[in-house]
Structure 1
C-alpha cells in the first residue's frame, strides 16, 4: 500500500518523507502549538528526524498512515495521521498538528471531508476516533460540526507538565458517515 495524496480545494495531504523533518520541526517543536498534544515536543531537528522515522516505521508495519499538509504553494503547514490503525477491527484514530499561523483558519474544516471519505470509503474503516484534551475547543467544534459523537470523558489521562488533563473521546461510525454523506448529497441536488 502506498500513501495516496489527498486534495481539497486549498490543501493537499501528501505522504510523509524523511526530509520533511526540517519543515515539521518549527511547529512540532513549539510548546504552544503542541499544548493539546504533548508537554514534551521535540527539542531539536535530530529528535524530529527520529520521530519521522518512527512514523514511517509504523506505516511500514501497517499501524498508521502519516501525511504532511501542504498549502497551495507547497509549504508544509501541518501533519496528519491515522494512527492506532487496526485493519481487522477496521478502526483508526486521527492525529493532527497545524502550524500556529494556520490554526483556526479552516484547514481541518476543509480537509475533514477528504479525510473521512478516504478512511471510510478507501480504507473501509468502520470507526474513526478523535480524542482531544477537554480544553481543546477548536477540535471539539470541528468534530461536532462533522457529526462525531461524544462518547465520554477519560479523567486525568495526560499530564501536561503542570496538571492532569481530561481526554474527551469522539467517534464516527461508517453508518453515521454514510447518513451524513447522503444528507449532504441530497442538499446539493
Structure 2
C-alpha cells in the first residue's frame, strides 16, 4: 500500500495523516481530559506531537499501521483514527481513536466505523479487528456493541492512569461476524 485512502462522509472526511497536522492534533491530544482513556501522559509539546506523527507515518511505511486524520465539513482537524498492530500475515489490526471533546457523542465514530470496517474486511482482507478499551469507557463500549464487536474478556489492571490501575476490556470482530452484520450497516 502506497497511500492512505480518503473517505468522504456526510459530516466528516478521513484522510491520511501528514506532519503538518501536528499543531491541530496537539490542540486536543495534549489535553488530559481527552486522553484519559488512552494515556496518563498526553503529549506536552508540539515537538512531541510532531515526533508522534512521524512514528505513525513510519509505521505506515513499514505496513504496521494506517493513520488517518478526521476533519469536519470546514476542514478542521477534529480527530485521529488508526489501525495499528496491523499484521499482514495474520490479517489483523487494532483500532485506536481520539476525538476532540467538542465533537464527542456526535456520531463521528459511527461514521468512521461505517467506512473503515468495510475497508478493513473487504479491501485489506483482514480476518480480525480488535478494540481494547478501559473498562470505564462507556462511550466506546456502546459503540463497539452497536457494531457487533464481541467482548472477549477483561485484562485486569493492565494500565496505570497516574492514580490507579485500570482494567482493559478486549473487543473483537472477525470477518465471518462482519459478513453476518454488514447489511445492517447500510440501514
Quick check: TM above 0.5?
A: yes
Q: Tell me the equivalent position of 1:181.
A: 182
Indicate the larger mover: 33-42 or 103-112.
Answer: 103-112
CA contact (8 A) 1:7 1:114 kept: no
For the residue of structure 2 that corresponds to 1:170, the secondary structure is strand
Structure 2: stretches of 5+ with no match in the other structure: none
**Aligned residues between the structures:** 186
Q: How does 1:4-15 map to 2 (within 5 A)?
A: 4-15=5-16
Q: Tell me the equivalent position of 1:100.
A: 101
Post-superposition shift, 1:183?
Answer: 4.8
Matched, 1:39 2:70: no
Alignment RMSD: 1.0
Could you tell me how far apart the structure 2 residues matched to 1:184 and 1:98 are?
22
CA contact (8 A) 2:154 2:169 kept: yes
Post-superposition shift, 1:181?
Answer: 1.5
Q: TM-score scaled by structure 2?
A: 0.97
Could you tell me how far apart the structure 1 residues matched to 2:137 and 2:184 are?
28
CA contact (8 A) 2:114 2:185 kept: no
- Give the 3 Å change call, closer, same or farther, for CA 184–58 of structure 1 in structure 2: closer
Could you tell me how far apart the structure 2 residues matched to 1:7 and 1:15 are?
12
Post-superposition shift, 1:184?
Answer: 5.1
- Give the 3 Å change call, closer, same or farther, for CA 142–184 of structure 1 in structure 2: closer
Q: TM-score scaled by structure 1?
A: 0.96
Structure 1: stretches of 5+ with no match in the other structure: none
Could you tell me how far apart the structure 1 residues matched to 2:35 and 2:66 are?
20
For the residue of structure 1 that corresponds to 2:33, the secondary structure is coil
Could you tell me how far apart the structure 2 residues matched to 1:23 and 1:16 are?
11
Post-superposition shift, 1:110?
Answer: 1.8
Could you tell me how far apart the structure 2 residues matched to 1:7 and 1:144 are?
24
Q: How does 1:19-168 map to 2 (within 5 A)?
A: 19-168=20-169
